[in-house]
Amino acid sequence: MADYVAPAREIGFVVNELLDYQALNHLNSFGEATPELTGAILDEAGKFAGEIMSPLNRVGDTQGVKIEGDTVRTPDGFADAYQLFVDNQWLSLAQDPQYGGQGLPFLVHLAASEMWNSACTSMALCPMLTAGAIDTLMAHGSEHLKDNYLPNLVTGKWSATMNLTEPHAGSDLSTLKTRAEPEGDHYRIRGQKIYITWGEHDMAENIIHIVLAPMVDAPPGNKGLSLFLVPKFLPNEDGTPGERNDVRVVSTEHKLGIHASPTCVMAFGENDGAIGYLIGEPGDGLACMFTLMNHARLEVGLQGVALAERAYQDALAYAKERVQGRNVETGEPARIIEHADVQRMLMQMKSMTDAMRGLTYDGAYSHDFRTHGRDDDEKRRFNERFALLTPVVKAWCTELVNEVTSLGVQVHGGMGFIEETGAAQHYRDARIASIYEGTNGIQANDLVGRKLLRDQGAALTTYLNEVLDTAESLEGNAELKPIGVALRGAAENLRTAARYILENGQSNQKFVGAVAYNFLMTMGYVAGGWYMAKTAEKAAAGIEGEEREFYEKKLASVKFYFTQLLPRHRSYMDAVVAGADIGVALNEACF
C-alpha cells in the first residue's frame, strides 16, 4: 500500500483554474479568503490527512469497532487523531464566525474533506455528518438551540448523527414508528433507528442525534414528520455535558467495508423517553432534514472522488514497481506500467477521477454562490444549479468509484485480491457510497421527477447553454476543435434525452422510474465532458509555461476521456429514448 499524498496541484487546478476562485474571493462574505490563504490552509489539510489520518486507514479496517457497555470503542489511534482534528479546528473552516467558525467558502471545506476521505473514509464520516447537522440547525434551529449546541458542534468537540431509517422503513419514511410526545418545552422520543453512522463512539464528549419522527397525534405520511435534536448527554447550564439521556446503542453492524465507522442500531426512550427538542415547525421535518441530506449527498459524491484518487495512487505506485513480462518494444523485463493495457486502466482511473472532481467541486462552488451571492438573482440561479447537480454528483461519482476501485484491484493483479495491498479495502469501502444517503436510483428519480419535469427543463437548459458556449470556444481553436465538436454532440444528445422525457413524462406512472437511471448517467458523462473540455482550454494555455509536464498530463487525461469515456453517454441516451418501453413493460412475471 502506497503512502497517501494529497493531490495539492490537482485540487488547486480545479479550485483556481477550472473554477473561478477569484469570483468567490470578491464576494463580501469571502473578502479575506484569498487564494494564498486558502492554498496554505489546504496544504496543511493535506499534511494532516497524510500524516495523521492515513496511517489509521488499515488499522481501522482490521480492528473495526466493538461495543463495551453503553459505548463503542474505536480502533487504536482514532480518538487521539480526532482530538487533533478538533484542536486544529478543521471542521470550522466554512462555518459561521458567530459560532466559532472561520467563515471560509464551502468549496475550501470540500477540498479539505476530499483529502480526509482519501486518507481514512471511516473517520471522515464523523465530521461529515456533524457538518450536515450544523447546516440544519443554522437553517431551521431556534436561537436557543443554535446558542446552546452550535459552538461545540462547530469545533467538532461534539459530533452529530442523522437518524432516519427504521427496521421496516428504509427509503419510505412515511411509515416511521418512532414517536415524539410533547412535554413542556421538549418532547419525549420513543423508538428505534438503524444504520446510524457514528451513532455511538468514544471520540467526542457528546453526540447530538438529529431524529426524524412523527408526533403522537400527527397525520399519517410525510406531512406528519417532524425533526428533533436529541443529545446523548443533556447539557448543563454552563454548556458541559450533564445527565445521560435515554438513548443507547443496541448493536453495531458487521459490514463489507468502512469497518472503523460504527453503523449503529439506536434505541430511544426505552425507559422514561429520550428528551428531544423540536427543530423547525411541526410537520416540517422532512423539509428540514433535506438540508442535512443534501449536504451529505454532496459529500458522499465527494467520497467517490476521494476513494478513486486513493485507489489510483496505490495502483500507480504498484504499477511502477511490479516487474512482470517484457516490454514489447525493447524485449527487456518490464514494469507493468509499460504494458498498454495497464496504461489504459490507469488512465481510465485518472480520467474518471479528474471529471468527477470537476463536477463535485462545481457543486460546492454553486452552494457558495447560492448562499453568499451578490444579489437575489445570482443566488436564485446558483440555487437552481446546485439542486440540478446534487443528485448527479452523488450518483454518478459513486457509480464510477466502484469501477475505479475495481480497476485498482485489477492493476494489482492477484495481489489486488490480497488484503495487505489495501486495494481491496478501497473497493469495499467505496461500495456503500452508491447506497447510503439515498440510493442512486432515488437520486435518478429526483433528477428526473423533481428537477427536470418540475421546471420543464429550465435549469438543465441554462446549464447546457454554458456547455455549448465552451464547445463553441473550442471549435474556434484548431488544436482543440475535435474536443469542441464532440462536446457539442454530447450536449445535444443530452438535450434529446431530456426532450423525450419532457414529452413522455406523463405517459405512464412507471415511466420516470424506467428512464431515470440512464438519464442521470447520460448527464453525468456529458457534465464530466464539460469539465474536461474546460480543462483542455486551461491546459493548452499553460502548456508552454513552467508547468509543461503537469498540463501535458492534463491534456492526456482529457483526450482519453473524450475518446474512450464520453462515448458511453450515447448508450445511456439510447437506453432512455429507445429503451423506455421495455422498462415500463417489465413486471414481476418477467423474472
pLDDT single digits (tens) 213-242 = 999 999 988 889 999 999 999 999 999 999
Sort strands 71-73 and 66-68 into parallel, antiparallel or unpaired: antiparallel
Q: Report CA-CA distances (Å) from 16 to 246, 359, 362, 413.
A: 48, 14, 12, 37
Question: At 567, is the secondary structure helix, strand, or coil?
Answer: coil
CA dihedral 299, 292, 32, 51 (to 10 degrees): -40
Rounded Cα distance between 97 and 95, Å, is 6
Q: How many CB atoms lie within 10 A of CB 317?
A: 15
- Where does the pLDDT of residue 2 fall: very low under 50, low under 70, confident under 90, or very high at 90 and above? confident
Q: Report CA-CA distances (Å) from 55 to 58, 162, 264.
A: 7, 28, 25
- Which long-range contacts (C-beta less than 8 Å, at least 24 apart) are formed by 218-223? 218/282, 218/283, 219/283, 220/174, 221/174, 222/173, 222/174, 222/286, 223/283
pLDDT reported for residue 216? 93
Q: How many CB atoms lie within 10 A of CB 433?
A: 27
What average pLDDT score do residues 434-463 get? Answer: 96
pLDDT reported for residue 220? 86
Strands (E), 131-219: 158-163, 179-183, 186-197, 206-214
Rounded Cα distance between 444 and 294, Å, is 14
Rounded Cα distance between 208 and 233, Å, is 8
Rounded Cα distance between 529 and 466, Å, is 12
pLDDT digits (tens, 9 = 90+) for 341-375: 999 999 999 999 999 999 999 999 999 999 999 99
pLDDT digits (tens, 9 = 90+) for 77-102: 999 999 999 999 999 999 999 999 99
pLDDT reported for residue 73? 98
What average pLDDT score do residues 306-324 get? Answer: 98
- CB-based contacts of 274, cutoff 8 Å, min separation 6: 188, 189, 190, 230, 245, 246, 247, 268
Catalytic residue, candidates 437, 466, 537, 546: 437
What average pLDDT score do residues 33-61 get? Answer: 97
What residue type is assigned to position 177 of the chain?
A: K
**169 pLDDT exceeds 80?**
no
What average pLDDT score do residues 392-399 get? Answer: 98
Q: Cell 451578490, residue?
A: 374
pLDDT reported for residue 65? 98
- Grid cell for residue 345: 486502466
Q: Which residue has the higher pLDDT, 123 or 170?
A: 123
**174 pLDDT exceeds 90?**
no
Rounded Cα distance between 189 and 208, Å, is 14
Note the residue count of the chain: 591
Rounded Cα distance between 530 and 55, Å, is 36
Asked if 85 and 127 count as a contact pair (C-beta separation under 8 A), the reply is yes
**337 pLDDT exceeds 90?**
yes
- Grid cell for residue 532: 474536461
Global pTM?
A: 0.97
**1 pLDDT exceeds 80?**
no
pLDDT digits (tens, 9 = 90+) for 257-295: 999 999 999 999 999 999 999 999 999 999 999 999 899
- Where does the pLDDT of residue 123 fall: very low under 50, low under 70, confident under 90, or very high at 90 and above? very high
Residue 205: active-site member: no
Rounded Cα distance between 56 and 54, Å, is 5
Rounded Cα distance between 296 and 294, Å, is 5
- Which long-range contacts (C-beta less than 8 Å, at least 24 apart) are formed by 582-586? 583/510, 583/513, 583/514, 583/515, 584/508, 584/510, 584/511, 584/514, 586/514
The mean pLDDT value of the chain amounts to 96
pLDDT reported for residue 409? 98
What average pLDDT score do residues 385-394 get? Answer: 98
pLDDT reported for residue 173? 75
b/e string for 347-356 if b means 16 or more Cβ within 10 A? bbbbbbbbbb
